[in-house]
Copies of this chain bind each other. A is one copy, B any other.
Amino acid sequence: FDPKQKPEYGYGKYKDVITNLEFERLLNAAGPTGGKILRPSDGKEPKKIAFIQCIGSRDHRVGNPYCSRICCMASIKHAHQVKEKIPDAEVYVFYIDLRAFGKGYEEFLERTQNEGVIFVRGKPAEVYQKPDTGGLVVKFEDTLLGEVMEMEFDMVVLAAGLIPRVDSDVIQKLLKISRSPDNFFLEAHPKLRPVETHTSGIYLCGCAQGPKDIPDTVAQASAAAAQAAIPLMVGEVVAEPTTAYVDEEICGGCRICESVCPYDAVKVEETDKGRKAKVNEALCRGCGACGAACPSGAITMRGFEREQIIAQIEALLTVKGE
């Protein structure tokens, strides 16, 4: 997420307002500062740092109502690292809810609290620069004290939320998979089939499915590999028996079926009898979209012929023993 979409926090306007990823680079021994925490504007060591959570997460105004899951722990880690490298620094973390849900996470949060990091419940409204000192003023409501306050910092780190890759619509079309309302790729079933998609042979893991931390990503990646290994081991793929078929006598070759098929399974081809639709049964998933769209009624699903459905209804309506 690009924090410039939230101009009230001053990202892009003030040099010392940076993202959590940029802060991660500062900490990196191979990074621009050789692992030293120095503020970008003047290269000095900051003595008072604010971490602001949920920038572009849990925020309807930018269209991201979901939690990005990793930012709380990332900021808590960063706060701990500041205390380690600059022991006399004052570190504030502004949050809505502290989501330390993983194994050992709560314990790590507590350790950081004991190190002196101050956690303030409340999402700041604004960050602005003080003209005289050049310091960054964070305006916030401490919801636990019920007071609106302003505090000056040397550096502000914004926990920018996770959003799907910009090219995910290209991948979506390429692989014929769906996306959930949050625009991440959609799993076949959130509880029971968390790594599968509705397209057989395509599996999901990590942040493709939604924001996720490293342990959960590694576990899910192994799971996706396991699922992918199943058809590879079996050596053959069982196709849907409920595929579409075309009555060439009726088909007018209008190409409507071609345009509605989500799996690219129907193609109109030139035949001796003119242009006719052809179904690739290996690709067809039996969704019925082509059949419903066909204006001449030329496409039917196997197992769902009109007579079969009527026979089923009749069987249902027949009272037992009659």
Binding site for B on A (CB under 8 A): 58, 65-67, 69, 97-107, 110, 121, 143-146, 180-182, 184, 187, 190-195, 205, 209-210, 214-216, 218-227, 229
Contact = CB atoms under 8 A, between A and B. Distances in A.
B191 A103 contact: no
B216 A222 contact: no
A103 B66 contact: yes
Contacts of A69: 101-102
B218 A194 contact: yes
Contacts of A190: 103-104, 215
Contacts of A97: 97-100
Contact of A106 (B65, B205, B221): B65
A214 B195 contact: no
B103 A209 contact: yes
B67 A105 contact: yes
Given A146-B145, A194-B215, A216-B216, A103 B223 contact: no
Contacts of A180: 103-104
Most B-side CB within 10 Å, residue of A144, A191, A218: A218
B227 A214 contact: no
A97 B219 CA distance: 26
A215 B105 CA distance: 19
A227 to B, nearest CB: 6
